[in-house]
Amino acid sequence: MSVKVPIRAASRLSGVSVDCIRAWERRYRALNPERAKGGRLFSEDDIYRLKLLKRAVGMGHSIGQIANLETVELENLPFNAPNRKPRPRDERTHDFSDAVAELAEKFIAYDQEAADELIGKVISLVTPREFVYSFVIPFLQHVNESWKDEPFREAQRHMTIASLRNAMLLLGGQIHRPNTAATVLFTTLPGEEHQHGIMIASMLATAGSLRPVYLGTNLPVDEIIQAADTTHPAAVVIGVKPGLTKLHDRANYLRQLRKGLSLKTDIVLEGLYHNESLYGALRKIGISPVKDFEEFEDLLQKYHHIIN
């Protein structure tokens, strides 16, 4: 007779969070563990099924589409996430407007534990890239629109960043990526503290089954080069704050970076307002600017053929 374990042990063995297991069971009937006095008990078959569900979600399949598949069907699902094209926003299937507002209230109340729990629940319901487009981006837009008159305090901003970075780790735990997946670095130039853009871009790289390395913000150029020398990335993604301020300094930093990196490593610039003459000048010095996240996803397609 096989050993059966409680939900927390099942979570550790499968790599699926407790909140996610509960959501998949209750909302989607994706598995049917034994009920006992002390709670649900999960068999070896249940844990194997959880691993398959986690892998399938990581490959780009919605839990709602795969929850009722037989185990053998889950084993044979195609690895198709990298080839999926971004969908127009009005075709994305989930409306998380209430959850977005709720998340903002939790940060206002300094309740980071509840905020992280809510984020984890949303992650359990959708594919990683839909989590970005249907939840993270709307949340950040909500922040910018709603808090102009009453901006977040410094501590609340730090909490928001910490929770989004936790979400990056949760997404990474759900993705099934090959060991040879290309590495992509994410950072900002010296004096640049704005990190929402590179966090979103890093999540999209995760959703595309690449291997993101998030270096944080305000990094000296020589530190970026050192990190690249060690990790041999397919690309270094640099986030900048929108606008043309500090353009001269940025250009000097980018020239230094291009000179110090291998020619095999792309430099991708994220966040700059679209200006074709400026974009053309950047391309001439070996920098690839992208005007939005969907164009960034298109650019990521080329890295799926690179073996790290």
Residues of the chain with CATH 1.10.1240: 89-174
Residues of the chain with CATH 1.10.1660.10: 7-78
Q: What is the C-alpha to C-alpha distance for residues 9 and 4, in angstroms, rounded to an integer?
A: 9
Q: For position 308, what pLDDT does the model report?
A: 54
Q: For position 194, what pLDDT does the model report?
A: 84
Q: For position 247, what pLDDT does the model report?
A: 67
Q: What is the C-alpha to C-alpha distance for residues 185 and 200, in angstroms, rounded to an integer?
A: 13
Residues of the chain with CATH 3.40.50.280: 183-305
Q: Write the DSSP symbol of residue 135.
A: I
| CATH architecture group of domain 89-174 | Orthogonal Bundle (1.10)
The CATH class given to the 7-78 domain equals: mainly alpha
Give 269's contacts (C-beta < 8 A, 6+ positions apart).
238, 240, 254, 282, 287, 288, 289, 290
Which residue intervals of the chain are DSSP H helices? 7-14, 18-26, 44-58, 63-66, 71-75, 97-108, 112-125, 128-131, 137-146, 154-174, 196-207, 221-231, 247-260, 276-284, 293-300
* Domain topology for 183-305: Rossmann fold (3.40.50)
Q: How far is CA 300 from the centre of its chain?
A: 14
Six-digit token pair at 176?
């099934």
Question: Please, what are the averages of pLDDT over each run of 10 residues along the chain (308 residues)?
Answer: 82 84 86 86 90 78 82 74 44 75 92 92 85 92 71 84 91 77 94 90 91 95 97 95 67 92 93 82 89 89 71
Q: What is the CA radius of gyration of the chain?
A: 21
Q: What is the C-alpha to C-alpha distance for residues 8 and 19, in angstroms, rounded to an integer?
A: 10
DSSP string, 246-281: THHHHHHHHHHHHHHS-TTSEEEEESPPP-HHHHHH
